A and B are shown apart, each in its own frame.
Chain A
């Protein structure tokens, strides 16, 4: 109870409230612009967070996460293009309903169900993250190694791309983390005589390159696309009939989204697709889906916003990112010197509950801003790419340079931008690279420390029940997507 009262600390701090309002508005803009979204936007803002204290920095990133996830729905409804990948399922019914002249109703339903999903997931976060962290007190090095392996094998089932390609991308991410001095023996690896590489490759140049610069290259191939925007008069609150029709769907999808979010490496995109298909399966009117069903919008939007809180559970409790954006948030935590895990819950409850509280407030704020400002935000979609992306490039370059005032970071960013473009072109998701990069040190460090404990005997891993459980789960995580693909 004492900790719960800490959740309302952001309300008492004018600085945190300003950060929250800015983060929510900025997140909405990012969500509305196709190609940006919470992950790229979070990556772009990461260098700026260095000027803030750790709590304000993470509050900013989480506010962006919550509101940008919702913001994607505005574009999905009005121009039939998901502003974020997590809003892809919202297009299926949002746009047809908007075409019928009910864009306000579609956005109203998206706004309400997103806010309920988001708030539901914060409740899940508040209760489950400490429980999971408590469980992690039992973990030694071998258990952390097995957990990190489980997190990495979950990459196989990330929504887009083939499972094997995702694993290759994840292994590539871990490989990047080995560049520089070996943290146990100080032996240089893959530095090739470049002194600046001795400290390893920073997270931010890789994150900005893989998300922002590769997206710029992708946009350069899509210049012939023409978007038609449906007119929007005002966002309408759903009618009582709409609520009666959708309340079960909203709560079911909130539960599904929170659960999917908790699973390492899964996120809003998978959650919204499952939330949508479950809404259709349970609906009394499944034939309306795809033609402008409010249940379809509610199912997808409640689930993708519920995944935000869910994804923060493993991120904060175990240091294993629950989604692509939480990987960026985890990067933010690391560069601010905050190591997530059970100790964080014991030593800095005010920090953690401040994050929980600000996520709750961010969900309320985007509801208000979305409800009254969707019409204005919708106008942002009219900013042409030929103006937007050169500006993003300027911010990316300066932001990346600003961290250690090193031009090498800028070259690394551009290099990973090109790599990221070709990865996406040939069906390799870039998200596993970031997760691999973040988990790389944990995987190698815990493996080597475990082997020291076990005196080099690998078989002793199998004598620890938690390790065996994670290995079984990892095996299932590897096999399941392959079987699912075969079935399809």
Chain B
């Protein structure tokens, strides 16, 4: 029996609400429904200014199309279940966590520091242990990128504890 067949068989034995096809379809329909409801709060244009259709009509149509197509995808998945995806490894969640930390650090402390810390964190989590390479990706390369954007492209980075020192604020 091939791996795909094994995965499909494993998927069949799961209760429906644990299956990927249900979770994915449910999420799409839920988000689309919320967005669809929000379209009813869009301003309505008086007939004299209205060009063809109301501004809300087009997004409404799109959201209904997405919901309709998702229902078809879900219906087809009952007949032909999706293969069960491998569990996501720890490194994925650590990378995702690094994005969250990047957002927090760049908002609260410094954009450049956030890039540096993310680089060393991701590189280490992905298996790099050599000090020189960790310094290369976390300090040397971000400095090169910073100088390139700052001097050649004339970009001004957002204020923060390190960039303020650089800009002598």
Q: Which residues of A contact B (CB under 8 A)?
A: 48, 51, 162, 164-165, 167-168, 171-172, 174-175, 178, 182, 184-185, 187-190, 192, 216-217, 220-221, 223-224, 384-387, 389-391, 393-395, 397-398, 401-402, 405, 407, 410-411, 414, 417-418, 425-427, 444, 447-452, 456
B122, chain A: closest CB distance, angstroms: 5
Cα A400 to Cα B115 in complex, Å, equals 13
The A-contacting residues of B in range 116-139, CB under 8 angstroms, are 118-120, 122-123, 126-128, 133, 136-138
Chain A residues with CB below 8 A from B119, complex form:
390-391, 393-394
Is B105 engaged at the interface, CB distance under 8 Å to the other chain? no
Say whether B115 contacts A394, CB under 8 Å: yes
B66 near A175: Cβ-Cβ < 8 Å: yes
Complex contact A164–B73 (CB within 8 A): yes
The minimal Cβ–Cβ distance linking A486 to chain B, given in whole angstroms, is: 11
Instruction: A51-B152, A426-B82 given; name 5 further pairs at CB < 8 Å.
Output: A185-B49, A189-B59, A224-B89, A417-B99, A425-B85
Interface string of B29-68 (1 = CB under 8 A from A): 0000001001100110100011111011011001101100
- Among B126-157, those with CB < 8 Å from A are 126-128, 133, 136-138, 141-142, 145-146, 149, 152-153, 155-157
Chain B interface size, as a band, is 35 or more
The answer to whether B153 touches A402 (Cβ under 8 A) is yes
With A220-B89, A393-B122 as known contacts, state yes or no: A401 contacts B155, CB within 8 Å: yes
Contact B122 A185, beta carbon cutoff 8 Å: no
Q: Please tell me if the beta carbons of A393 and B91 are within 8 angstroms of each other in the complex.
A: no
- Interchain CB contact under 8 A, A398 and B45: no
Known pairs A164-B72, A216-B95, A451-B53; A189 contacts B153 (CB<8 A) = no
Chain A's nearest CB lies how many Å from the CB of B70?
6
Are B88 and A221 touching (Cβ within 8 A)?
A: yes
CA distance A395 to B137 in the complex (A): 12
B35 smallest CB distance to A (angstroms): 7
Q: Are B96 and A168 in contact (CB under 8 A)?
A: no
16 A-B pairs in the complex with CB atoms less than 8 angstroms apart: A165-B73, A217-B92, A217-B96, A220-B122, A221-B92, A223-B126, A390-B137, A393-B119, A394-B141, A398-B115, A398-B146, A398-B149, A402-B155, A414-B102, A426-B85, A452-B51
Tell me how far the C-beta of A382 lies from the nearest C-beta in chain B, rounded to whole angstroms. Answer: 13
Distance of A386 Cα from B69 Cα, bound (Å) = 39
Q: A48-B153, A221-B91 are in contact. Are A171 and B51 (CB under 8 A)?
A: no
Contacts of B6 in A (CB 8 A): none
Q: Which one, A175, A182, A425, contacts B62 given CB within 8 A?
A: A175
In the bound complex, CA of A448 to CA of B39 (Å): 18
> For A394, what are the chain B residues with a Cβ–Cβ distance below 8 Å?
115, 119, 141-142, 145
Do the beta carbons of B92 and A220 come within 8 Å of each other? yes
How near does chain B come to A477, taking the closest CB pair, in angstroms?
A: 15
**Cβ contact within 8 Å between A384 and B128:** yes
- A417–B98 alpha-carbon span in the complex (Å): 13
| B43–A187 touching, CB < 8 Å | yes
How distant is A65 from chain B, measured CB to nearest CB, in Å? 23
A171 with B62, Cβ < 8 A, contacts A390-B119, A394-B119, A418-B96 known = yes
Q: Residue B162 at the A interface, CB < 8 A?
A: no
